[in-house]
């Protein structure tokens, strides 16, 4: 592998001998898009070796890749298995790059708490949304599935989240979402927080009924909606 050879060159020559930065960033994105976990890991290491800033490699490589994955998913060229494996590739690259993030390059990210509401263990949809939001640069706190309703509120308070995302596939548990919103009000936290919901039985009409700020029908839409809702917040 040509990548192996490059390690024999001295540090200062590696950049000029090595591949162009754009090429490497492009390869990072491609590794994600092509569902290639191993390649994502290898190229992430290469990026560090030729001196690409870890933050840039994440944002211009891995995240760009996930944006394309997102588009392909929305256009029904990719489906859930493809997105899951692309995400695995993204996480493999992240694992290599994250330890090298410089404090000054990390602007404080927007925090989002996410989970499947109490009584429901179906979590693939929620996982997709978490991955997509994470790829879009949000800091995600994933409470998992069958999450107690006060658990959402407690976590949001603890991490100073700006948004709570809830999902469920079941009609028996959907009303728990309203309960969380009520709890937020009781605790005086509703004003500073956006609430976005989704899942099989959930609709915009239901979101309106329970006073949620947003509804998203799929993971790609969830990213757009989160950006809209949180941008509005910043302007206000």
Partner 1 sequence: MSKIMTDEMTPKERMSAALGGKPVDRILCAPLILNHASRALGMKVRDFCTSGRNMGEANIACYRKYHPDLVFIFSTTSTVAEAMGTVMKFPEDDAPQVLEPVVKNREDAKKLHPVDPRKDGRLPIYLEALKRCVEEIGDEVFIIPVFGAPFTTAAALRGTEDFIKDLYRDPVLVHDLLKVSLESCLNFIDACADEGGVPVAVDPIATGSIISEKHFREFVLPYLNEIYARIKSKGLPGVLHICGKIKRIIAAMAESGATILSVDDIDMEEAKRLVGDRVCLMGNLKPAEVMFKGTPEIVDTAARECVARAYDSPGGFILASGCEIPINTPPENILAMMDAARKYGRIPISPESWQ
113 burial via Cβ count (<10 Å: 0-12, 13-18, 19+): buried
Q: Which is nearer to partner 1, 36 or 213 (CB)?
A: 36
**Interface with partner 1 by CB under 8 A: which range of 10-18, 46-54, 156-164, 169-177?**
169-177
Residue 19 tokens, joined:
């591949």
**Interface with partner 1 by CB under 8 A: which range of 61-69, 151-159, 166-174, 183-191?**
166-174
Residue 137 interacts with partner 1 (CB under 8 A)? no
Give CA separation, 117 vs 92, 167, 182, 197, in Å. 28, 6, 14, 10
Residue 75 tokens, joined:
């256009």
Alpha helix (H) ranges present in the chain? 2-6, 11-17, 21-33, 37-49, 54-56, 63-74, 80-97, 124-135, 149-159, 176-186, 204-210, 219-235
Is the four-CA dihedral 140, 27, 7, 10 of positive or negative sign? negative
d(C-alpha 135, C-alpha 85), whole Å: 14
Residue count at the site for partner 1 (CB under 8 A)?
Answer: 29
Binding mask 18-57 for partner 1 (x = CB under 8 A): -----------------x----------------------
Taking alpha carbons only, the member of 154, 9, 175 closest to residue 141 is 154
Give me the least distance between CB of 63 and partner 1, in Å please: 22
Binding mask 70-99 for partner 1 (x = CB under 8 A): ------x-xxxxx-xx--x-----------
Residue 181 tokens, joined:
């919103």
Residues 6, 21, 53, 119: which binds partner 1 (CB under 8 A)? 119
Residues 103, 205, 234, 236: which binds partner 1 (CB under 8 A)? 205
List b or e across 47-73, with b for residues whose CB sees 16 or more CB atoms inside 10 angstroms: bbbbebbbbebbebbbbbbbbebbebb
Give me the least distance between CB of 174 and partner 1, in Å please: 7
Residue 171 interacts with partner 1 (CB under 8 A)? yes
Residues 137, 151, 200, 211: which binds partner 1 (CB under 8 A)? 200
**Interface with partner 1 by CB under 8 A: which range of 7-15, 38-46, 109-117, 123-131?**
123-131
Contacting residues toward partner 1, per CB under 8 A:
35, 76, 78-82, 84-85, 88, 119-124, 127, 170-174, 200-203, 205-206, 209
């Amino acid at each position: 592998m040509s990548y192996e050879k490059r390690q024999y060159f001295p540090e200062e020559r590696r950049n000029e001998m090595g591949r162009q930065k754009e090429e490497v960033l492009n390869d990072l994105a491609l590794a994600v898009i092509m569902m290639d976990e191993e390649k994502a890991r290898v190229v992430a290491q290469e990026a560090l070796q030729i001196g690409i800033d870890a933050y840039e490699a994440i944002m211009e490589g891995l995240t760009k890749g996930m944006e394309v994955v997102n588009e392909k998913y929305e256009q029904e060229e990719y489906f859930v298995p493809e997105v899951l494996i692309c995400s695995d590739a993204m996480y493999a690259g992240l694992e290599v790059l994250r330890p090298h993030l410089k404090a000054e390059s990390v602007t404080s990210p927007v925090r989002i708490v996410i989970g499947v509401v109490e009584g429901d263990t179906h979590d693939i949809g929620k996982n997709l949304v978490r991955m997509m939001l994470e790829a879009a640069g949000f800091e995600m706190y994933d409470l998992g599935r069958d999450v107690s309703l006060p658990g959402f509120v407690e976590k949001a308070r603890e991490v100073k989240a700006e948004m709570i995302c809830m999902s469920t596939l079941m009609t028996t548990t959907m009303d728990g979402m309203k309960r969380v919103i009520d709890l937020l009000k009781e605790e005086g936290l509703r004003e500073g927080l956006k609430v976005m919901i989704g899942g099989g039985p959930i609709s915009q009409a239901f979101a309106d009924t329970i006073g949620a700020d947003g509804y998203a029908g799929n993971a790609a839409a969830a990213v757009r909606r989160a950006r809209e809702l949180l941008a509005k917040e910043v302007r206000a």
